[in-house]
Amino acid sequence: MQKTPDIESSQFVLGEIEDLFKNGQIFINYDYQRGAIWKRTQKTELIKSIRNSYSVGVLVLYVNESGKYEILDGQQRLIAIKEYIEGTLNLDGTDITAYSDLDKQNKILIDAYCIYYLRIKSHDISTREEDVVQTFLRLQEGSPLNKAEKINAYRGKFKDVFREIREKHPLFVLMAGDKRFRLRLLAAEMLLLEMESDLNNRIFPSLELQSFVYALDKYKKNIPTSKLRNYRGNLDFLHLSLNYLLTALTPRDLLSLYLLISYLRTHRAGNKNLESEFSAFAKDFLRNLNSFSIYDQKPPAGMSRDVFDRYQKYKLESKVMTTPESLKRRFEIILGEFERLKPFIKRDPKRYHDEEEKRTLYFRQKRCLSVL
């Protein structure tokens, strides 16, 4: 049987908006909302419509578990009105009178302007999150969200993990800037690669939206502890070994380095010096990668033709970026380059521990026995 949320129509007047935001009765949920994107002309045209008593359309609000209203549709309109009331909307070059300069009669008329909205409330607790996500996504089809914004609209364990990582892990702190959704997407891409890749058989997931929707549902309630531990461990390693290089890395190159370190940490025998070797490799790799343009036909001075061809192929594959085939080829190129520049012995899959790990376990056990 089809389940539909309860929908009621209501209204408030423009003069109430400032207090509704201040009291938290209406709020923007930045877990999935994208912030202010309207241009100044769009905002001023809205204010002109209100001044002329034209309709500005119906808002859609969702009643959350605290009884507060989340904005599902109408965020840009409400932000424009709020900025006008607060005096932060730039009115230069327009014939709009600032809200604070309105005479008493015009202020009463503006404050009394009715804003109509639909109030949605889920009648089924088990489908509440799905209701708000699907309603929000469908309402935004008129102003399409990008992939990062759509992924951030979903809820569940998978979303909670990459959101927390993006906000708290030092790797993303170093890369911080005006890239809130892009860095969340990067954290989500790394998590998806960790959950769905088979490095032994060179099988990788697509990084298109449908793969994330699948993972968001599959790992909605739980993520295997071992996978989560590997994910955090790989990010820790990237942060410690790359450090300041992170500010120079593109997301696509960082994804390749993530796959490489994920492979090396589990397949290389003896990782005692891996941090310093990985750091040195990343510098060499980036220097070679950035020493020529994708349009160059011959290698730069000091680079062999074979090496040039590999890096040229990597650049071309990076333009595709999201397909499993592109991820596979880029991983094979970067792994091949690491093996060329930093030769290593692969761990014997029949052994549980390599020599370094055995020594660590021995001294750890000996220390424990001495305490007893």
Q: Do 319 and 206 fall within a single domain? A: yes
Residue 74 covered by a domain: yes
pLDDT, position 363: 47
- pLDDT digit of tens for each residue in the chain (372 aa)? 445 556 778 899 999 998 998 998 888 776 656 667 789 999 999 999 999 888 888 888 887 778 788 887 788 899 999 999 999 999 999 999 999 999 999 999 999 999 988 887 664 555 555 555 555 555 554 555 567 767 776 778 998 999 899 989 999 888 866 566 688 889 999 999 999 999 999 999 999 888 998 999 899 999 999 999 999 999 999 999 998 888 888 888 999 999 999 999 999 887 788 999 999 999 999 999 999 998 899 999 999 999 999 999 999 998 877 899 999 999 999 999 999 998 888 876 655 455 555 545 444 454 544 444
pLDDT value of residue 175: 81
- Per-residue pLDDT at 369: 44
Q: Are residues 193 and 250 in the same domain?
A: yes
Residue 152 covered by a domain: no
Q: What gap in Å lies between CA 30 and CA 53, rounded to an integer?
A: 31
- In a domain? residue 303: yes
Contact between residue 116 and residue 58 where contact means Cβ atoms under 8 Å apart: yes
CB 315 within 8 A of CB 294: yes
**Domain annotation covers residue 151:** no
Distance of CA 322 to the CA centre of its chain: 15
What's residue 180's pLDDT? 63
Q: What is the pLDDT of residue 33?
A: 61
**Are residues 83 and 194 located together in one domain of the fold?**
no
Asked if 190 and 52 sit in the same domain, the reply is no
pLDDT at residue 2, as a whole number: 42
The reported pLDDT for the residue numbered 128 is 54
Do 314 and 221 share a structural domain? yes
Q: Which of 115, 145, 175 is the last residue of a domain?
A: 145
Using a cut of 0.85, tell me whether the model's pTM lies above it: no
> Which residue, chain included where needed, has tokens 């492979």?
263
- Provide CB contacts within 8 A for 45, sequence distance 6+: none
**Residues 329, 229 share a domain:** yes
Task: Give the integer Cα–Cα distance in Å for 184 and 81.
Answer: 29
Tokens of 346: 């692969």
186: closest CA among 276, 321, 317? 321
Q: Cα–Cα distances in Å, from 306 out to 284, 287, 317, 326, 343?
A: 16, 16, 17, 20, 18
Asked if the structure places residue 285 within a domain, the reply is yes
The C-alpha atoms of residue 323 and residue 330 are separated, in whole angstroms, by 11
Question: What pLDDT was estimated at residue 1?
Answer: 44
Domain count, the chain: 2
How far lies 267's CA from each of 186, 199, 270, 335, 338, in Å? 24, 10, 9, 12, 13
Single residue among 145, 176, 194 that ends a domain in this structure: 145
Residue 359 lies in a domain: yes
118, 145, 172 — which closes off a domain? 145
- Taking CA atoms, 289 is separated from 182, 294, 300, 312, in Å, by 23, 9, 11, 8
Q: How far apart are CA 13 and CA 116, in angstroms?
A: 9
Which residue range forms the structural domain that includes residue 49? Answer: 6-145
